Structure 1
């Protein structure tokens, strides 16, 4: 388990265009009730907020997730990054995993999902990225939306209409993913850009949370806890109370305010 970054009740970021974004965030991780080791890791420091869920055995899974968040954390303090920087960090993480002699001989890998502050044509945006079945959600105006699509066998079955979303949660292959960072393969993240809006709340989480809470439950706790620290604590307690069958890791990021520069307005 590697944790990089702490919660922050108020942090101002000035983007390259001059746009100012004020954020609040909180991150938590727990081994859960049934696992002996926490193989999850996270990085929570601008411009990157990401969660990685390791696999491949206790030491190997922990090593893999740590490699990913450590590389992503190298961007800490930068005003904004883009997909080339994220791609490079993930490639370097795979190389780092390959150097784990004795730890990763049988292969190791990890999911990764997160959001990064970026700019598109001078406009501030969140770059949402994922590999595997860890997820990013957006809550705004009371509406919760899953922004990522799982790379998993059951998601493919859902997409093909062979099973329902509810059936997917209890399917015997629910833990089988189709894409990961590691296993000596080039990482292939999906990307999505979304506008940064005041009042929006983002949740980045491992499947240890979504195994225990439905989207309705997640929405309830995000809506009923206005502070990011309160929200992560409530979600964690609910996940553990519902069984805590896996490691549980999450980051809640709130956009408190955004002030666009005059240059952006006049463009």
Structure 2
């Protein structure tokens, strides 16, 4: 396994330990704690491997409870909200190119194909202190959340993701469709998609 696969597995392992039945506040706090625990464990393992070793993974986590949602993330994995026929990106990439876009030095269109498009500025395991961003909101009936790795988001782009959602599909079938589209587009990065529909 490469460093990314080991790091991703550690993140999943920590999140799987979360108990069921937590309140919204407890769930958010425990999820944050699980990611901080994964970060500390990955930093320890990297130090044990020697100078220059890095075990890191981007993460995006969606929590839905009692009519509200919260999304935590670090890196360039994304969460989108599809509501009433409109796609909204809820997350902002923690990446070198996003910083260039924010400062006006690079257009959104050129960002995905920039030579440093895969350079993230935050990730679980990358630094001793993990900084997670959070966005919260209310859930409406029919909302659909799409969580993607950079291999889907960057190689397809927001317009193609929206087109796939307009074309329809449910749950795993829609996620599989996004993955197949990213692969057909020639993605050479991690290709992951999760779709969550709210009743």
TM-score (norm 1): 0.68
**Aligned equivalents of 1:136, 1:89: Cα separation in 2:** 19
Match of 1:189 among 132, 136, 147: 132
Name the CA shift for 1:194/1:95 in 2 (closer, same or farther; >3 Å): same
Pairing partner for 1:198 from 117, 120, 141? 141
Backbone CA RMSD of aligned residues:
1.9
Change (3 A) 1:66 1:241: same
- Judging changes above 3 Å, is the alpha-carbon distance between structure 1 residues 103 and 237 closer, same or farther for their aligned structure 2 residues? farther
Aligned residue pairs total 195
* Shift, 1:101, TM fit: 6.7
**1:111–1:131 Cα contact (<8 Å) kept:** yes
Question: 2: CA distance between counterparts of 1:59 and 1:81?
Answer: 35
TM-score (norm 2): 0.90
For the 8 Å contact 1:154–1:168, the answer to whether it is kept is yes
User: Relative to total residues, which structure has the larger helix share, 1 or 2?
Assistant: 2
2:6 pairs with 1:59: no
Q: Tell me what 2:17 maps to.
A: 74
Q: CA deviation at 1:76?
A: 4.9
Q: Which residue of 2 aligns with 1:117?
A: 64
Equivalent residue number for residue 87 of structure 2: 144
Return the index of the structure with the highest Cα Rg: 1
What is the CA distance between 1:253 and its match in structure 2? Answer: 0.2
Secondary structure of residue in 2 paired with 1:219: helix
Q: Structure 2 matches for 1:22-41, cutoff 5 A?
A: none
Summarize the alignment of residues 225-244 of structure 1 with structure 2, pairs less than 5 Å apart.
225-244=168-187
Does the 8 Å contact 1:202/1:253 carry over to 2? yes
Partner of 2:161: 218
Could you list the runs of 4 or more consecutive aligned residues of structure 1 that deviate by over 3 angstroms after TM superposition?
79-83, 98-105
- Return the structure number with greater strand share: 1
Change in CA separation of 1:253 and 1:170 when aligned onto 2, cut-off 3 Å? same
Preserved CA contact (<8 Å) 1:60 1:103: no
Structure 1: 5+ residue stretches without partners: 1-57, 257-267
- Name 1:22's counterpart in structure 2: none
| Comparing 224-233 and 198-207, the one that deviates more | 224-233
Show the counterpart of 1:45: none
CA-CA distance at 1:104 after TM superposition:
5.0
The residue aligned with 2:30 is 85
Displacement of 1:79: 4.4
8 Å Cα contact 1:80/1:117 also seen in 2: no
2:114 corresponding residue in structure 1: 171
CA distance in 2, matches of 1:103, 1:196: 43
